[in-house]
A and B are shown apart, each in its own frame.
Chain A
Amino acid sequence: MAGISLDNLSFKYPGAQDATLSKLNLNIANGEAHALLGASGAGKTTLLNILSGLLRPTGGVLRFDDLDVSNQQGRERNVAQVFQFPVLYESLTVAENLAFPLKTKKLQSKVITQRLDYICSELELDELRSVKPAKLSLFQKQLVAVGKALVRPDVSLVLLDEPLTAVEPRVKWRLRQTLRRVQADLKVTMIYVTHDQTEALTFADRVSVLTAGGILQTGTPEEVYASPEHEFVGHFVGSPGMNFLPANALGVADAERVGFRPEWATLTGNQPSSAQKRGHLHGSVLRIRVQGAKAGKPFGLVTMATSQGEIAIRGYIPDTSITAGDSLGVCVHRCIGYTNELKVSDIEFL
């Protein structure tokens, strides 16, 4: 196990105009569960390949603890990887698959048995030991792939490349739970690469949001969600993302634009035509999306058109008779001010 540090790490594909990754700086603590969150094309895969040793950085340094591994082969780094779809040795049984990375390391058979027992009980794979991968469900296969990554006692880093893609939605959270539990038990450094914010935020201790080859923010899921440092982070994290309006729409003076989460605002019924108050808006309903009901009261998402742009508001739907086209007031409780896309202020309205 190791702490990972990226020091001005850059990468440019030969012949490419722009660098795919430019001067990334990131420290991941030993035993941390870290998520790299970004859309396709943000450079996630390139970074992943640099971490696994498939690509060499064209600038900067990659360190495992204090060791510069920038030019080491993948096999020298003790890195394990779980891929988007289950990658197993198809001619070997589950137990043989799990033992494979140990056997190549020429470990004693006693150690191998011990590790195997441990991993099998941790991942509840005992009953599948003598089964070939072809007979397993995708969930089980991916579980074995995870086991194969964790089985080595000396593994310094486990990379997870969207490991839940192939798994059925219904069991995704179970695999994620297992991963999280094992990660906490074994204190393995893990880097989870994904475009799915739910996966990133639920899995990780800390999240880095990546776009166009740069890291915009690194922080705990709470920080990334509740106070995005960059407008893109606010937009990308959260479903739907942050609402952005010109700052004057909410009467905020010290920023260019303001952003607020859909649940940081409530619908207030029809707005009296009094002078504009700070944090108050009005607009007309575009769509109502009911997402459920609690104690008989429906809740969901209401999209509104205001004079300055479209916004979404989440919460209880105050009056079930509202329909598209109705004019309603909106009261924003909190917002974040941005100038040049960067956070400059955090405002709570009274």
Chain B
Amino acid sequence: MSSFKPQNNRAWIGVLPVLLVVAFSAVVPLMTVVNYSVQDILDFNTRFFVGFEWYQETLNDQRFIDAFIRQVGFSLTILVVELPLGIAVAKGIPKESRFTPIILILLALPLLIPWNVVGTIWQIFARPDIGLLGVGINALGISYNYTVEPLHAWLTLVAMDVWHWTSLIALLSFAGLTAIPKPFYQAAELDCANRWQVFRHVELPRLRGVLIIGVLLRLMDSFMIYTEPFVLTGGGPGNSTTMLSQHLATMAVGQFDLGPAAAFSVIYFLFILLFCWLFYTSVVRTDD
């Protein structure tokens, strides 16, 4: 019996260009790094196969472990702040008002600013001597100087990220909220549900989809954060704001330790993958 479906065969031809692009853009560079990570390279012609030595070294490196802990702490902190804040902002946007488009554009503004500009803005904004924020906080009687105090630097970094990216969560949530059919609200009103119950049982379940996307985007993105702390604090004071990417850059570009840096990169990449996978599967599993 023939069950010939022409469209299935042709579909492969359609996918081919994408496969080629992915191969060149992702797989080939990645393989180069994997190749470097198992060799000790002295110069162009001298290289030794070292197996997993660089990996072991990286994982045992205290500076890596510190940067890793800082990184995880940072990513979780900004998620904990940005998620509720973003939803709260989205809930505050009027759904059918002539101001809605204006509000949405204003909200989207921070998303349009390049990373290093964001860093520069905050570098100046938070300066205790001439920055509005820095001066303001000090004027309140709180001694604040992010260039000296590790905690202040860290908080400033979090504040900057929140300022830069909460809009993303807010816009996603707003899109999710507007997609909820009106009868759901009406039914809750007639059930005498209070605002919290409406949020908890009507809105939150329907926001799940967009929030999963939002968390994944922010998780991946914050794990890769580089430019902003580099411009704001240069990773200091001390190493208090040195995230994984900056540590890696120091190794690869600063010290030219290509082997360990490659091993680091692979580990780094696997960690991001692992985190996203863990998050995604845990969310999907609670579905059933």
Contacts and interface: CB of A to CB of B under 8 A. Distances in A.
A101 B197 CA distance: 11
A314 B200 CA distance: 56
A157 B146 CA distance: 63
Interface in B189-207: 189-194, 197, 200-202, 204-206
Given A90-B206, A91-B204, A91-B205, A100 B193 contact: yes
Contacts, number: 52
Nearest to A102: B191
Contacts of A148: 191
B81 interface: no
Contacts of B192: 75, 101, 104-105
Nearest to A106: B192
B254 interface: no
A227 B201 CA distance: 49
A226 interface: no
A221 B189 CA distance: 33
A80 B190 contact: yes
A161 to B, nearest CB: 8
B186 interface: yes
A335 interface: no
Contact of A87 (B187, B193, B197): B187
Q: What size tier do the contact residues of chain B reach? A: 10 to 19
Contacts of A52: 186, 190
B277 interface: no
A119 to B, nearest CB: 14
B52 interface: no
B183 interface: yes
Contact of B189 (A75, A83, A90): A75
Contact of B191 (A53, A90, A91, A104): A104
B265 to A, nearest CB: 41
Contacts of A81: 183, 186-187, 190
Given A90-B205, A90-B206, A100-B191, 17 more contacts: A52-B186, A75-B190, A75-B192, A80-B191, A83-B186, A84-B183, A87-B183, A87-B187, A89-B202, A91-B200, A91-B205, A92-B201, A100-B193, A104-B194, A104-B197, A105-B192, A148-B191
10 contacts: A52-B186, A53-B190, A73-B189, A74-B189, A75-B192, A80-B190, A91-B204, A91-B205, A101-B190, A101-B191
Interface of B: 181, 183-184, 186-187, 189-194, 197, 200-202, 204-206
